[in-house]
Chains A and B, each alone.
Chain A
Amino acid sequence: MSDEVPAPSRTATWRAIALTAVLAVHCVAAAPLPQVVLPEELRTPVAREEVSRWAARLTSLGYAIDADTLGERVLTVSGAIGGAHRRVLAPFRPIFRSTGTGQGWALFANPNIWPFRLEVRVRGASGPWRLLYRRLDPEHPFEDPVIGYRRVRAVYDAHGTGKRPRGAYRRFVAWYAQRVMAEDPSVEQVQIRMVRTHTTIPPRPEDPREEPRFTLVERRP
């Protein structure tokens, strides 16, 4: 009696070839390469602080570099690597796109110490603004399940990094203001804004500053 294990079948071999090819493409797609960083992204306070701290760390390790130079290198290197990654995957992009599949898991890569808090204010024909909703404020929970639903939150979170909000945020404001005015006929104006706060790390004291950004007002037609 022989101890030899029989050779894999032809079906098993072809299946292994096909699976290996698919896994290879997905491994390339999943490669943890730096994402392409855009100049406007580098101008955000979070990114500026991050680059400054990395520059200080690299300098302390003997590689002297200032924050501006490091920022320029990040743009150049991430652009080159990201471009090459895109070109390698270009033949497979139609498959990824049509099936909605892919790899890319930069989850919480850089936690945000300047987070935004959504606020919705309303007022009638006259009078002061009244706070209707504030994220994670138990005293102003108006429609929290709707505003907090992950896909809705993702739309207003896509407000962008510049001074003017992106289209997704504008679409959210128009949609939500209509919804509020339809619910309450006394409301004539709806103001939606993102209030930027600052998270400090203990033992640094708390920073109470609040900076309203992306303030948009919708009026009843």
Chain B
Amino acid sequence: MELSLLIALPLLGALVVGLLPKERTELVFPVALGVSILPLGVSLWIMVNFVSGESVFQFTEDYVLSETFGIGWRLGVDGISLWMIVLTGLLMTLSIAASKSITDRTKQYMVAMLVLEAGLLGVFLSLDLLLFFAFFEIVLVPMYLLIGIWGGENRAYASIKFVLFTAFGSIFLLVGIIVLAITAGDAVGAPTSFDFRTMLSLDLSSTTQLWLFLAFGVAFAIKVPIFPFHTWLPDAHTEAPTAGSVILAGVLLKMGAYGFLRFNLTFFPGASVDLAEIIGIIGVIGIIYGAAVAIVQPDVKRLVAYSSVSHMGFVMLGIFALTSQGLSGGVFVMISHGLTTGALFLLIGMIYERRHTRLIADYGGLAKVMPLYAGVFLFMAFASVGLPGLSGFVGEFAVLLGSYLTLPVLAIIAGSGVILAAVYLLWAYERMFTGPVTNPKNEGLSDLDFREIAILVPLIVIIIGIGIYPKPILDRIEPSVEIILDRIEATTDYEAPEFGRIDEIVDPRDVVIESAGHDDDTGEHGDEEGSE
């Protein structure tokens, strides 16, 4: 029930906001903020009650909607999706809080935001492929409206580009899902079955796996986005209103990476192993390309947008390193990137509201005028770059470590991405904040006010907290990625290199691998480890 509640709350909130009397416009913001806290609360409650160290889905719900078509309201949360929903709840509340400056059609704006939240939560919670697809697609509509109505100058172009790119990817996803559902239906004696668990038990041939991997992969690659499918991203992120950018970068991009983890790796392990290196290479291209292009951006929002391409490259490299560290690191980068990039977009939004320009050249010497703002910006820049002790470091280090085990050359090249990140962010900081105030328009700018501080403080606390003590998060991620790896090892010849799994000092498998060979069992994690 908790998960259904989690999806229903923002929708009910949207209804409440939509039904507010027309003339009471001043009510819209506080009410929307208030209702957005509810799903955050539920997601935190789920986080607290989530049993750590378990790889199975928790809080599962399974309510059959159609026997004939094998469709059900199937929800569940594991160590990966747990963090995604917490991230969604948190960023959504913060970005609604940061939307005070929206004055045009506020009510419609808040409704769009809350519907968007419901869609995003649905994506991460669905254990039914049709449900997943439905949520995956519905996210487009509120996002389109957010960018299109409340976006920057070039919003019409950016919003339709965003829709067409993602919808184009979704075609292949839908074809893949239909084919998979028909195959799964044959297995259970129904026309179709969209049940995640039924699909998990399918034994697909390697050709089928390859085609389906590509079908799912294109959709997720566009969403991530992987180079060269990224061109919608800078436009959409730059033109979107602040809250839109925060959600786009913080949560929406994660839908793609999450799709790879949840579906591509689990359904098509053979194809994943075959294509791991290629996707790793593309990921590294993304890291370098995104960083290099970010360096030369004159527009600070666009700079951060391109840095997302770079960070998401790390996520992809981590995932397709196919090692425990890489996968956990990838998920951790997803969380950390959501926090730091979300914060950077919030900061840019705050300065944009004061100066109505995003060009780096228009600023300079802001540190003198807005010391607090400059401090927070520098902090976020460091967090994004991956300064040890902050959240960015944990994830990127784990990704580099994990990928070094299987794709050493790529790991080394990717390492340079960290340096490039320092270049583009710190150089931008230098140009915007240090030196004398060159532009007289910047002189009278006010520093952060209480509301803005209240929005940023939680992010700062969390970034430091999980940077210093990431164990609670990793403890929950690891079992979930382990089971994905185990399934890959069980169904293919691939053996993940054993290197310092955090929870195992001596791995019993090192001893038995030679004699046991790979396991033909369908990857029921846990039991076999004990028995071996």
Pairing of A with B:
no
Q: Which residues of A contact B (CB under 8 A)?
A: none
